[in-house]
Every structure is written in structure tokens, then in C-alpha cells.
């Protein structure tokens, strides 16, 4: 069948230009933007909530509405990521790395400006690339079998080495923790329950959003509570000039932006490589290839630009395997596929031939929605950037409540919150002892994919999978990358050697050593348990726990071997891909006590929700927190009432979120 690509492109644009279509898309964009600001409510939950509203629409109107909302979700979820260090959805995790430190420096406006500009350009450029490559896309999608996907995931996993920064042993141990967390749950090959400890909740593994919020949001909230001051208390007020500066930053980096978005769009086309993975790869690659002075992980605007130019572009790419092959790359995309089916848009090769205009219309929708969404979000940048100057006694409980709600939407079980707190404690300790958290999260995402494709491909091809041409190329790139990292590391050590006169042994049982030891002990116990599982269930866990055990011991011993610097030598600073909080004059004991106080106050929300339900527990928690932290009653009461009223209308009436049952259901009792 001969296909008129240009004709289809044109007629798709004409269809989308109808006022009715544009109106639905615009509504979708606005709602999608507002939803994504609340962690846990954007992404999958957002699409699920919006779906029933499409019942009265025609199929194309529904498509414009839903795609409009979805296209901008990875623009708007940047707002909490930058302002509070809380990823709105897992795809904005990477933005936290540099965006939040910028906000802490009083550069929230600049970070938001850069993020929105690169989101728009990334989304639009990525979609335009798709428009051009659609005619040749089918062979790429059909050629990506389990062997190629495995090689690609291995390349991604190798990026852990880049994200480990100067602390290779800590970075690898952190990746080991991520892999262990990822393997909790039932194994597909043997149905073995791995590290579930008899808990049914752990059967399906840990929810990505709970891990993301726990590992990044809770530690940042705890640090804010410990410091007892605003996010950017020491800085002058951020102005709209900051957003303009962010725009200029992006334009200065226009080449990396277009390169990243084109690559992300192309990678998104590969079935089953989701948008949660791709921005990490792009970020790692950018941090490695950027020349000159760089400060990635500590507030480098190029880190924000890399992450944001990537995550919007993946939406377009991952749309293609969804509509052409019926294989969605992410959970929200899976729901979108369900919505399309309901509206009569069936996936299949016809979407690249007979129904090509529909496919092009989807891509055009993404292009236009990105532009509208970017302008809308840009307008929000100035007012929102002022939030970083709000006192922590007011801001922390409000964000903590939102994080709590977001985590509870993962599976609507109380265990979501327990897990959030447990992972939050691990994340906070990692931050305190300078273990990079990014390798943990990247390994958490990639390890299950590596295991899945490894066993499928070994089952089918045996070791012959390594001789496939594309696999060989990808493995060669992975090998070269690893060699490059090793050479760079050796070179740094060699240079460092000049300023060191010798080494001395300093046996200290500080928090750093205790944490390394704890990780080693947990790894050893996990390894011991994994050795009892069938081979197919234990191969990867044994490898991960062994890696974690060895590297955590190296980190432990390495912490005791201290270099003695020559008197006149400068101490070279190691690159660390993570946030570091300066607690000023607070002693370690004070930090620990304040951290515990935050945990206990957060526990009030958990216990009260469990007893009487979230909507009644919220005002109690907010009021208790604000009063304990020294806010005056006349200030606390209006803030609590205002927030509660908004939360009640939003969660109970507009979004109609579901919660786990409390012990005493006051709403039911009142009815």
C-alpha cells in the first residue's frame, strides 16, 4: 500500500486545527499541568481520573484532551521537583538533582525558566523528529528483540559508574541497594517470593513512586525541618529575571537540547524502554561529555536542561510502540492505550498506513500541547518561585501532607506510608554520609529489566545473543564507556597522588562507618537468603548482594584509610552527584534529634490517618506540627483551615481519591 506521508501530515494538522479540537486539547493541558504539581496525582493517576470525562467526546476530541494532558505532565511535575526536591512523577527525579540545589541558592526562577524552556523545545523537537522518521520506524520497533533490549539496559546500568562521581565504592554499593530493592517480590521465572518476609504487600515489588518520594523527598523535608528555615532563607528574593536567565541558559545550550530531545524521542520508540529510564541515560551522558567547569548534582543549570529536554521528548517516542504495536512503555501510556481502544483507535500497523493521519494528529497534539503547556507553566514560574521563601514550620507540613497523599496513591495501603518512611530514613542517612542516591534509583529502574531480558534472551538464544550485530555494537559502547570511566578515575588518583605524602589508619565509628557496616550486614543476610533460591531466581540477586557486600566493605575500610596531605598541597575536591546540606552550627547530636522530631511528627499524620482517616488527620497533623515548631496559633489556624478546605474539595470531590480504610470511619459514621 502506497502511503502519502506529507498528505497525512497536512490533513492531521488541519483536523487538529478545528476550534473544538483545540479547545479540548487546551483544557487537557491546563488540567494536566495542575494535576502534575501534586506528587502521585499526575501520570497514571491523572490519566485514570481524566478518562471518564472523555466518555461524551468523539474519539479525536478524547485523544486531543488526554494527549494534551499527558504531554505536559512531565513539564509541570518539574515544579515540585525544583521547588521542594519532591519529584511530581518518577520522570522528574533527574530534575531534582540540580533543580533543587538551584532553588536553595535562590535560583528557583532561573531553574524553572530553564526547565520549562527546555521542556518545550525538547517536546516539540522530539515530536518533529518523529514526524520525519515515522515512515521508517516500523523496522526499528520490530528489530528490538529481547537481546537488543538487554544490551541497551546493560549500557544504561553502566551509567551508574558515571553517577557514582568520585565515590566509586559508595556509588556501586548504592546501586547494589537499588538492585536489592528492585528484586523484592515474586520472580517471574520460578515464581519464587524474594525478600517478601511473608508480606503480601511486597509480592509485586516496591512501587516506583514510593521509592522516588522516599529516597529524595523525605530526606529534603527532614533537612528543611532540621534547619528550621525557608528553602532559600539566606538568599535575596528570586525574581522573574531568574526565569529569563533560565531561558537564556537553555538557548545557550540549544545544541545539547536538540541532541538530547532527538535521542530521547528515538529511544522512546524502543518498546518497553520507558520514560523513567531515558532521562537518566541522557543526564549521565551529558554530565560525562560536558566540557569545562561543571557542577552536576550540585545545582548546574545544564543538568536541569538535560533532564527536561529529555523527559518531554520521550512522550512522543513512546507513543509509537503503544499505538503501532500495542506495547506501551509506561503505565500511563498503557492507560492511554486503553482509552484509545475504547474510543475505537485500535493499535496496529494500520496506524502507519491506513490511519497514518491519526498517528500524525497525535504527534501534532504533542507539539502544540507542549507549546501551550510551556507558556502556561512559564506564567506560573514567578509566583511559584516565591514559595522557597516561606518559613519551614509552615511549608514542611504542607509538603509532607502532599507527599503522604502521593505515596498513598501507589497502592492505597498503609504499607505505602511505612515503606515511604523506611526508604526515607535510608535516603536521609545516605545523604548525610555522602552516598550518592542517583545510582540507587537508576539501578532500581534498570535491574528488573536486565533480569527480565537476560533470562528471556538466554532461554531463546543462549549465549549466541552476544553475536547479534546491534548487540555487539551496544556492548562495545558499554565496554568503551567503562574503560573510559576507569581511565578517568585512575588519572584523577594519579594527580591526587602528587599532593599526598602518605596514608594513615584512623579507626573511627562515625555515622559513615556505621552506615557502611549496616549495608554490609544487610547485604550478607540478603545474600545468605538468596543462595537458597532456584538458580533462575537467585542469579541476579546473588550478584547484586555480593557487589553490595564487597563495595560497602571497601567503603567502610576506605573511610578509615586517611590520606596525609603535603603541607602546601591543595586538596582536590571529588565530584559528588548529590545534594549536601550544610547544617551550619548544629552539632551532629542536634541534627539527629531534630531529624527524629520530624519523623515523630510525620508519624502523627500516619497514626492519625490510620485511626480516623486522612481527611480528619490532616488538620490535626498540620496544627500540631506548626505549633510544635513555634508558629503562632493565629498564623497556624488560617493556614491549616485554608489548606484543609482546598485538600477536601480537591481530593474528596474533584479527584475523588480513594484511601485505605481507617479504624474509625468518621465520614461513614456521619452519613
Partner 1 sequence: MSSPLKMSLAATLVAAASAAPMVAFAAEDFYDGKTIRMVSTTGAGGTMDLYLLLTMKHMQKYLPDSTDIVLEHRTGGGGAIGANYLYQNAPKDGTYIGMPVPALVSSKFANPEQIRYEAEEFQSIGRLVDLPRVFVAREDRGIATFQDAIDAEEPITHSIMTVGTSLDQFMTVANDALGTNFRHVPGFSGGGPAFLAMEQGEIASTTAEPANLLANKWHLVESGEINVLGYLGLEPIPGLDQGENLLDLIDEDNPYYGVAEAVAQSAALGLSLIAPPGVPEDRIEYLRDVLEQTVNDPEFIAEAEERDIPVNYASGEWLDDLIADSANVSDDVEQWFFDLAN
- 414-to-210, 369, 612, 653 alpha-carbon distances in Å: 12, 36, 13, 22
* Number of neighbours of residue 288 by Cβ within 10 angstroms: 17
> What three-state secondary structure class fits 116?
helix
Rounded distance, CA 24 to CA 58, Å? 11
* Number of neighbours of residue 259 by Cβ within 10 angstroms: 18
> What three-state secondary structure class fits 613?
coil
503 lies in the site for partner 1, by CB under 8 A = no
Q: Which of 228, 290, 295, 411 binds partner 1 (CB under 8 A)?
A: 411
Q: Which of 247, 288, 338, 550 binds partner 1 (CB under 8 A)?
A: 338
Which helix (H) or strand (E) is 475 found in, with range? Answer: helix 469-497
Q: In this complex, which beta carbon is closest to partner 1, that of residue 340 or of residue 435?
A: 340
Rounded distance, CA 302 to CA 253, Å? 8
C-alpha cell at 219: 530526606
**Binding-site string for partner 1 from residue 261 to residue 300, where x marks contact by CB under 8 A and - marks none:** ----------xx----------------------------
- Nearest approach in angstroms of CB 183 to partner 1 is 13
Q: Which of 142, 472, 493, 600 binds partner 1 (CB under 8 A)?
A: 142
Q: Say if residues 77 and 36 touch (Cβ distance below 8 Å).
A: yes
- Number of residues this chain uses to bind partner 1 (CB under 8 A): 56
* CA 69, chain centre distance (Å): 19
Q: Which of 111, 124, 335, 450 binds partner 1 (CB under 8 A)?
A: 335
> What three-state secondary structure class fits 583?
coil
136 lies in the site for partner 1, by CB under 8 A = no
Q: Say if residues 327 and 608 touch (Cβ distance below 8 Å).
A: no
Region near partner 1 per CB under 8 A, out of 16-24, 110-118, 337-345, 593-601: 337-345
DSSP character at residue 562: E
- 41-to-402, 407, 605 alpha-carbon distances in Å: 10, 10, 19
- Nearest approach in angstroms of CB 38 to partner 1 is 17
Helices 168-182 and 511-530: crossing angle, nearest 10°? 40
Q: In this complex, which beta carbon is closest to partner 1, that of residue 166 or of residue 328?
A: 328
- Nearest approach in angstroms of CB 411 to partner 1 is 6
User: Of 639-658, which residues contact partner 1 (CB under 8 A)?
Assistant: 656, 658
Q: Which of 27, 138, 240, 331 binds partner 1 (CB under 8 A)?
A: 331
- Nearest approach in angstroms of CB 40 to partner 1 is 13
Q: In this complex, which beta carbon is closest to partner 1, that of residue 277 or of residue 639?
A: 277
Rounded distance, CA 328 to CA 335, Å? 9
- Nearest approach in angstroms of CB 55 to partner 1 is 4
182 lies in the site for partner 1, by CB under 8 A = no
Q: Which of 22, 27, 30, 51 binds partner 1 (CB under 8 A)?
A: 51
* CA 650, chain centre distance (Å): 24
Q: In this complex, which beta carbon is closest to partner 1, that of residue 142 or of residue 514?
A: 142
558 lies in the site for partner 1, by CB under 8 A = no
Region near partner 1 per CB under 8 A, out of 4-12, 172-180, 228-236, 320-328: 320-328
189 lies in the site for partner 1, by CB under 8 A = yes
609 lies in the site for partner 1, by CB under 8 A = no
Region near partner 1 per CB under 8 A, out of 50-58, 542-550, 629-637, 639-647: 50-58
Q: Which of 325, 550, 604, 624 binds partner 1 (CB under 8 A)?
A: 325
Rounded distance, CA 449 to CA 454, Å? 8
Q: In this complex, which beta carbon is closest to partner 1, that of residue 191 or of residue 670?
A: 191
Q: In this complex, which beta carbon is closest to partner 1, that of residue 140 or of residue 627?
A: 140
- Nearest approach in angstroms of CB 247 to partner 1 is 36
Written in H, E and C, the secondary structure of 624-644 is: HHHHHCCCCHHHHHHHHHHHH
**Binding-site string for partner 1 from residue 194 to residue 233, where x marks contact by CB under 8 A and - marks none:** ------x--xx-----------------------------
User: CA torsion angle for 293, 582, 230, 629 (degrees, to 10)?
Assistant: 160
> What three-state secondary structure class fits 502?
strand
C-alpha cell at 293: 567547569
Report the half-sphere exposure of 448 (CA within 13 A, side-chain side).
Answer: 22
User: Of 69-108, which residues contact partner 1 (CB under 8 A)?
Assistant: none
**Binding-site string for partner 1 from residue 5 to residue 44, where x marks contact by CB under 8 A and - marks none:** ---------------------------------------x
- Nearest approach in angstroms of CB 56 to partner 1 is 9
Report the half-sphere exposure of 589 (CA within 13 A, side-chain side).
Answer: 0
Q: Which of 190, 386, 546, 575 binds partner 1 (CB under 8 A)?
A: 190
Region near partner 1 per CB under 8 A, out of 229-237, 346-354, 566-574, 632-640: 346-354
Which helix (H) or strand (E) is 501 found in, with range? Answer: strand 500-505
Q: In this complex, which beta carbon is closest to partner 1, that of residue 312 or of residue 410?
A: 410
C-alpha cell at 314: 520521550
Q: Are strands 500-505 and 185-186 parallel, antiparallel or unpaired?
A: unpaired
User: Of 53-72, which residues contact partner 1 (CB under 8 A)?
Assistant: 55
Q: Say if residues 531 and 543 touch (Cβ distance below 8 Å).
A: no
Rounded distance, CA 129 to CA 645, Å? 45
- Nearest approach in angstroms of CB 302 to partner 1 is 34
Smallest CA-to-CA distance from 483 within 161, 152, 154 is with 161
Using CB under 8 A, list all residues that contact partner 1.
Answer: 44, 47-49, 51-52, 55, 142-143, 145-146, 186-191, 200, 203-204, 271-272, 325-328, 331-339, 341-344, 346-349, 411-412, 452-453, 455-456, 459-460, 656, 658, 660-661, 668
Amino acid at each position: 500500500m502506497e502511503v502519502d506521508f506529507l498528505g497525512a501530515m497536512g490533513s492531521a494538522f488541519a483536523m487538529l486545527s478545528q476550534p473544538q479540537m483545540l479547545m479540548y486539547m487546551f483544557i487537557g493541558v491546563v488540567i494536566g499541568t495542575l494535576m502534575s504539581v501534586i506528587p502521585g496525582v499526575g501520570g497514571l493517576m491523572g490519566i485514570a481520573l481524566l478518562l471518564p470525562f472523555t466518555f461524551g467526546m468523539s474519539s479525536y476530541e478524547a485523544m486531543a484532551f488526554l494527549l494534551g494532558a499527558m504531554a505536559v505532565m512531565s513539564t509541570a511535575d518539574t515544579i515540585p521537583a525544583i521547588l521542594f526536591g519532591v519529584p511530581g512523577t518518577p520522570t522528574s527525579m533527574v530534575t531534582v538533582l540540580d533543580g533543587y540545589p538551584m532553588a536553595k541558592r535562590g535560583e528557583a526562577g532561573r531553574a524553572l525558566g530553564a526547565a520549562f524552556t527546555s521542556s518545550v523545545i525538547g517536546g516539540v523537537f522530539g515530536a518533529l523528529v518523529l514526524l520525519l522518521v515515522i515512515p521508517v520506524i516500523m523496522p526499528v520497533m520490530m528489530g528490538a528483540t529481547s537481546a537488543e533490549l538487554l544490551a541497551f539496559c546493560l549500557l544504561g546500568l553502566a551509567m551508574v559508574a558515571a553517577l557514582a562521581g568520585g565515590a566509586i565504592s559508595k556509588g556501586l554499593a548504592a546501586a547494589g541497594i537499588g538492585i536489592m530493592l528492585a528484586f523484592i517480590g515474586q520472580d517471574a521465572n520460578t515464581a519464587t517470593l524474594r525478600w517478601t518476609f511473608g508480606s503480601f504487600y511486597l509480592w509485586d515489588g516496591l512501587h516506583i513512586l514510593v521509592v522516588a518520594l522516599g529516597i529524595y523527598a523525605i530526606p529534603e523535608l527532614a533537612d528543611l525541618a532540621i534547619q528550621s528555615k525557608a528553602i532559600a532563607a539566606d538568599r535575596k528574593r528570586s525574581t522573574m529575571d531568574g526565569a529569563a536567565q533560565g531561558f537564556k541558559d537553555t538557548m545557550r545550550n540549544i545544541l545539547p537540547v536538540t541532541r538530547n530531545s532527538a535521542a530521547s524521542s528515538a529511544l522512546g520508540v524502543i518498546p518497553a524502554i520507558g520514560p523513567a529510564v531515558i532521562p537518566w541515560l541522557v543526564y549521565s551522558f551529558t554530565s560525562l561529555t560536558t566540557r569545562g567547569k561543571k557542577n552536576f548534582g550540585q545545582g548546574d543549570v545544564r543538568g536541569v536542561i538535560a533532564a527536561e529536554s529529555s523527559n518531554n521528548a520521550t512522550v512522543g517516542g513512546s507513543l509509537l510502540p503503544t499505538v503501532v504495536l500495542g506495547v506501551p512503555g509506561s503505565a500511563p501510556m498503557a492507560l492511554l492505550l486503553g482509552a484509545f481502544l475504547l474510543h475505537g483507535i485500535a493499535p496496529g500497523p494500520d496506524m502507519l498506513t491506513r490511519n497514518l493521519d491519526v498517528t500524525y494528529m497525535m504527534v501534532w497534539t504533542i507539539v502544540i500541547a507542549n507549546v501551550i503547556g510551556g507558556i502556561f507553566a512559564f506564567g506560573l514560574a514567578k509566583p511559584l518561585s516565591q514559595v522557597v521563601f516561606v518559613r519551614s514550620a509552615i511549608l514542611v507540613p504542607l509538603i509532607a501532607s502532599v507527599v503522604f497523599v502521593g505515596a498513598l496513591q501507589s497502592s492505597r495501603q498503609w504499607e505505602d506510608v511505612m515503606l515511604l518512611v523506611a526508604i526515607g530514613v535510608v535516603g536521609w542517612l545516605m545523604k548525610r554520609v555522602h552516598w550518592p542516591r542517583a545510582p540507587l534509583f537508576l539501578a532500581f529502574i534498570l535491574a528488573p529489566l536486565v533480569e527480565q531480558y537476560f533470562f528471556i534472551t538466554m532461554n531463546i538464544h543462549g549465549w549466541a545473543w552476544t553475536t547479534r550485530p546491534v548487540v555487539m555494537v551496544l556492548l562495545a559502547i558499554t565496554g568503551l564507556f567503562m574503560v573510559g570511566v576507569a581511565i578517568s578515575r585512575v588519572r584523577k588518583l594519579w594527580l591526587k597522588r602528587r599532593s599526598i605524602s602518605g596514608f594513615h589508619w584512623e579507626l573511627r565509628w562515625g555515622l559513615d562507618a556505621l552506615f557502611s557496616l549496616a549495608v554490609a550486614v544487610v547485604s550478607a543476610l540478603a545474600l545468605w537468603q538468596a543462595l537458597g533460591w532456584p538458580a533462575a531466581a537467585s542469579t541476579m540477586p546473588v550478584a547484586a548482594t555480593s557487589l553490595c557486600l564487597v563495595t560497602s566493605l571497601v567503603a567502610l575500610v576506605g573511610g578509615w584509610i586517611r590520606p596525609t596531605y603535603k603541607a602546601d598541597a591543595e586538596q582536590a575536591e571529588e565530584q559528588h552527584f548529590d545534594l549536601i546540606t550544610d547544617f551550619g552550627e548544629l552539632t551532629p547530636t542536634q541534627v539527629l534529634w531534630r531529624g527524629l522530631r520530624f519523623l515523630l511528627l510525620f508519624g502523627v499524620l500516619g497514626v492519625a490517618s490510620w485511626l480516623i482517616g486522612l481527611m480528619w488527620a490532616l488538620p490535626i497533623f498540620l496544627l500540631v506540627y506548626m505549633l510544635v515548631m513555634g508558629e503562632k496559633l493565629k498564623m497556624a489556624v488560617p493556614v491549616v483551615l485554608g489548606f484543609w478546605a482546598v485538600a477536601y474539595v480537591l481530593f474528596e470531590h474533584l479527584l475523588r481519591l480513594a484511601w485505605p480504610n481507617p479504624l474509625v470511619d468518621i465520614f461513614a459514621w456521619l452519613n
